[in-house]
Amino acid sequence: MPSIATQSYKSRAASHPVAVARDLLACIDRKSTNLCVSVDVTTKQSLLRIVAAAGPYICCVKTHIDIVSDFDDDLIVQLKALAEKHDFLIWEDRKFADIGNTVKLQYSSGVYKIASWAHITNAHPIPGSGIVTGLSAVGLPLGRGLLLMAEMSSAGNLATGGYTAATVAMARAHPDFVMGFVAMKRVDERDETSGGVAAGTGADFVIMTPGVGLDSKGDGMGQQYRTPDEVIRESGCDVQIVGRGIYGGGDGVADEQIVENAVRYREAGWKAYLERIQV
């Protein structure tokens, strides 16, 4: 059967088993953007300013909330308001990696109370399936979704081969909560990692892909970049994740430049998608 990547976002939104994945795919279709902006800044003001500027052009914002030095509850109130205003989802890139009981508490409690505001979060599969069980105990009743870290974009990372295949198998065992993967390609359909499930016959997993850049191939600290076309059209991934290519690093470039960069990546990603599904 044809790959999931040949189907439109709209058709997949109508049938995906995870509610937040349906919301994300519908948002992508509605706004004609497969761009997720990754905002790795250390102040509340910078985070909100960058998100406000990029918001109209994205389907998702990815945060690392624990690096914000002046975090407070008002940051979450304002972030949720921006998501509502500009029609995008919020992904807290927490990368949980502990036993089920611990991640359950990390997800629901503490300073950040991630499950109360983040539509999407993610986890490393290394602790075993208990990590999904623990997170789903909190996230499922709230309608949240989980991405498993199947691959990474950094040089020399260990998320390859059998590890990636085991991650895909873990996701298949939890179709009500695991909505997809952080991965560099369609790991759910490749012979070496699909677990024998033929392309187009298994569950629909959303592939969110980091390491996207139009102007650079690396950052000197192991990050490796590919273009939106390589990620979306050639590799069949669904969402391109762009950080410094949008806001320029530090506290961020001027709003006008953020908008210009976001439009550029949005257009490149959407063109690649249309070519992929041959519209």
95 catalytic residue (yes or no): yes
Count of Cβ atoms closer than 10 Å to residue 216 Cβ: 12
> 255-276 vs 44-54: helix axis angle to the nearest 10?
50
Among the options 95, 113, 185, 271, which is catalytic?
Answer: 95
Contact status, residue 240 vs residue 36, Cβ threshold 8 Å: yes
Task: Name the residue among 160, 156, 116 with its Cα closest to residue 139.
Answer: 116
Contact status, residue 206 vs residue 238, Cβ threshold 8 Å: yes
CA 176, distance to chain mean position in Å, is 17
3-state secondary structure of 262: helix
Query: What are the catalytic residues?
Result: 95
